[in-house]
Amino acid sequence: MVSYYTGPILKHSIQSVLAQEVVSELVIVNNGNPEDVTEELDDLSGRDARVTHLSGQGNIGFARACNLGASRSHSEYLLILNPDCILPDQALAKAVEIFANDRQAWLAGAQMLCPNGMPQGGSKRRHLSPSIALSHALRMHRFIKSLPHINMEEKEGELSSHVPAISGAFMLIKAERYQWLGGLDEGYFLHVEDLDLCRLIERKGGKVLYMPEIKVTHYASSSTVSSQFVEAHKTRGFIYYFLKHYSDIPKPYLWLLKLGIYLRHLFKIPIYWFRSFLKKNQKSAVYERRRNKWFHTPVFENKILDEAHRRNLDNAAPILLTGAMGQVGLTILRHLKAYDVSTYAMFHAVIPDFFAPNIHWIQGDIKKHFFSSLPEKVETVIHTPAIWHLPAMLPFLRERGVKQIVAFSSTSIEGKSETRNSYEKELVNKFMQAEKELTDFCNLHAIKLVIMRPTLIYGSGLDKNVTSIVNLIKKIGFFPISMPGLGMRQPVHIEDLAHATMMAITSEFGMSSVYNLPGKTILPYKDMVNRLASLIGKPRRALRVPFLAELMNAVSVITGRNELNGEIANRMNRDLIFNAKKAEEELGYDPLPFLPRGRDDLGL
């Protein structure tokens, strides 16, 4: 595994490799990483005898680094694996078995999947030829469909087969064969070396095996290195490849090919500049810092479970937590970490950069019902993303022996029941339908079900309600409200939701329970806005805007954002108060007042 400023996915990739039973050693070639990551890799190699960490050589390029790592290997089989790949359980044992049964195959690759479980493309390829390269360089293949594409079509349900080339993100080969072939050509610095190896194997009389049965999640472009740097080396790799393999083609065609490759590079430079500019201005880094800070924040003292409920947590484990990187999921994860409960936490596009001994990260996409790996036994499921994604998972979860489920719904079922907006009507129906399907299934199969309906959530700077109000005040100096803005609200702190969840999975009550979870403080909408403004040093910033509902409807039509509509403005003058008596009696629910820690609760 060669790493160069890979980012947080590196730790998850390493974790997935070391979880493979057949792995006897992992050689990590550190071509360049932040100092803290290098120290962590040193520490890992000291704790795990299977890990060898090679660093200090600088960025020597991918091919040379692979050869360096291979020279330190002592195993029969060698796997070159990108540091942003997640291997599912038992993937390597199955891969070696398939590979070993094909005597013609010298090299084997897997199917690369996107984080959402869909095929990434490029897992099996044609040889890179001058016609294909020119077609791609000049974008001709997009307009003339009959032109060959380097990526071959990937069909669902297909079996292992010989192909011209595979993706370099996963390359399995016998170590002896790799050394006999001379390893990867070090004339390549980054990219194209995998295609070169596949061509070399064919010329030597071997076959390249594509194994679609082995599915590997690949977080492409996870490195923080600039895209221009990568593209420049890819361009040099293409030129080197054609000079090496096609030096006998007519000179005019070779010059045209070179021109096409350089034009491709020049065309992409302004695109990368623009993307780089957007990246510097995007919010992802800000939210990453907020998540890290919130994960390491201790559980509030008045939200710590008593000894009786803490003992009951052992009976609730192992726990599967979906949406673990969302604001509610992350807060629940903090509590589970604090109580040392065995937890399988699911992440998707947002990659966690924090770990704890009791937390086992699972990569997956709840919308697609795709998971890289899941435990054989699950006692409790805590589902925090949109509740309508959960019903389709129920038969699968029942097979895992699930005894109880906590699912987060919304008070929108009541608060938006009279909406005139079609988008919101559909949303309310989805909440109601999902709750019904969950209730019917869990009652039928004697699974304990708890449905949580929180109201206006805030507390870590990750929400889309309170944080959005604060951000808009910062940006334009005020927050528009519909006159007079006196509709009552009950903002709820996410710490209250996490504590209620802990109580729910450690308490005894009926099979199907629904709880409203509002905050303690009841205040008018405009007062809530003004309190938020004062916390960030602004004067009263709730500005009454006439015809706000009509303006928001116009914005919704123009931008296509259905969630921004006039009903939001109309509800600023409607009371959204919810009865929490059942939660108080059965869960001991005692919510915090609004902004108990002042500015700290904004998480900004």
Torsion angle of alpha carbons 415, 418, 424, 427, nearest 10°? 70
Q: Is 577 helix (H, G, I), strand (E, B) or coil?
A: coil
pLDDT at residue 283 greater than cutoff 60: no
Confidence of residue 142 (pLDDT cuts 50, 70, 90): low
Name residue 213's amino acid. Answer: E
> Which DSSP category does 536 fall into?
T
Number of Cα atoms under 13 Å in the Cβ half of residue 472 = 15
Q: How far apart are the first and last CA of the chain?
A: 37
Q: Which among 49, 3, 47 is positioned nearest to 26, based on CA atoms?
A: 49
Instruction: Find tokens 């205040």 and name the residue.
Output: 523
pLDDT at residue 215 greater than cutoff 60: yes
What percent of the chain has pLDDT above 90?
64
Q: Rounded to 5 degrees, what angle do the CA atoms 549, 550, 555 make? A: 95
Instruction: Find tokens 């036994």 and name the residue.
Output: 377
Interstrand relation of 105-113 and 85-86 (parallel, antiparallel or unpaired): unpaired
Q: Which among 519, 491, 499 is positioned nearest to 299, based on CA atoms?
A: 499
Number of Cα atoms under 13 Å in the Cβ half of residue 220 = 15
Among 84-98, 248-262, 367-381, 553-567, the range scoring the smallest mean pLDDT is: 248-262
pLDDT of residue 226: 59
pLDDT of residue 563: 84
Among 61-65, 327-331, 415-419, 491-495, the range scoring the smallest mean pLDDT is: 415-419
Confidence of residue 175 (pLDDT cuts 50, 70, 90): very high
Instruction: Find tokens 């599915």 and name the residue.
Output: 215
Task: Read off the pLDDT of each residue in 268-276 and give the average, rounded to a whole number.
Answer: 61
Torsion angle of alpha carbons 363, 63, 76, 88, nearest 10°? 10
Rounded distance, CA 92 to CA 124, Å? 18
Confidence of residue 280 (pLDDT cuts 50, 70, 90): very low
What percent of the chain has pLDDT above 70?
92
Q: Quick: pLDDT tens for 558-580.
A: 888 888 888 999 999 999 999 99
pLDDT at residue 52 greater than cutoff 90: yes
User: Which two tokens mark 303?
Assistant: 């939200």
Backbone region of residue 8 per phi and psi (left: phi > 0; alpha: psi in -120 to 50; beta: other values): alpha
Q: Helices 227-245 and 193-203, interaxial angle, to 10°?
A: 20
Rounded distance, CA 266 to CA 231, Å? 10
Q: Quick: pLDDT tens for 388-444.
A: 999 999 998 999 999 999 999 999 999 998 888 999 999 999 999 999 999 999 999
pLDDT of residue 281: 45
Confidence of residue 373 (pLDDT cuts 50, 70, 90): confident
Rounded distance, CA 208 to CA 198, Å? 7
Rounded distance, CA 544 to CA 329, Å? 35
Name residue 247's amino acid. Answer: S
Task: Read off the pLDDT of each residue in 145-149 and give the average, rounded to a whole number.
Answer: 69
Rounded distance, CA 252 to CA 437, Å? 67
Q: Which residues contact 123 (CB under 8 A, 6 or more apart)?
A: 109, 110, 111, 112, 154, 166, 167, 210, 212
pLDDT at residue 249 greater than cutoff 80: no
Instruction: Find tokens 């623009």 and name the residue.
Output: 274
Rounded distance, CA 230 to CA 225, Å? 8
Rounded distance, CA 280 to CA 274, Å? 10
Backbone region of residue 418 per phi and psi (left: phi > 0; alpha: psi in -120 to 50; beta: other values): alpha
Rounded distance, CA 371 to CA 87, Å? 11
Rounded distance, CA 235 to CA 262, Å? 7
pLDDT at residue 344 greater than cutoff 60: yes
pLDDT of residue 130: 77
Are the CB atoms for 150 and 126 separated by under 8 Å? Answer: yes
Name residue 182's amino acid. Answer: G
Confidence of residue 265 (pLDDT cuts 50, 70, 90): low
Instruction: Find tokens 């000894």 and name the residue.
Output: 307
Q: Which among 86, 67, 73 is positioned nearest to 6, based on CA atoms?
A: 86
User: Which two tokens mark 445?
Assistant: 């199969």
Task: Read off the pLDDT of each residue in 280-298 and give the average, rounded to a whole number.
Answer: 79
Structural domains in the chain, CATH included, are 2-281 (3.90.550.10), 284-460+492-520+576-602 (3.40.50.720)
pLDDT of residue 382: 97
pLDDT of residue 221: 65
Name residue 395's amino acid. Answer: P
pLDDT at residue 293 greater than cutoff 50: yes
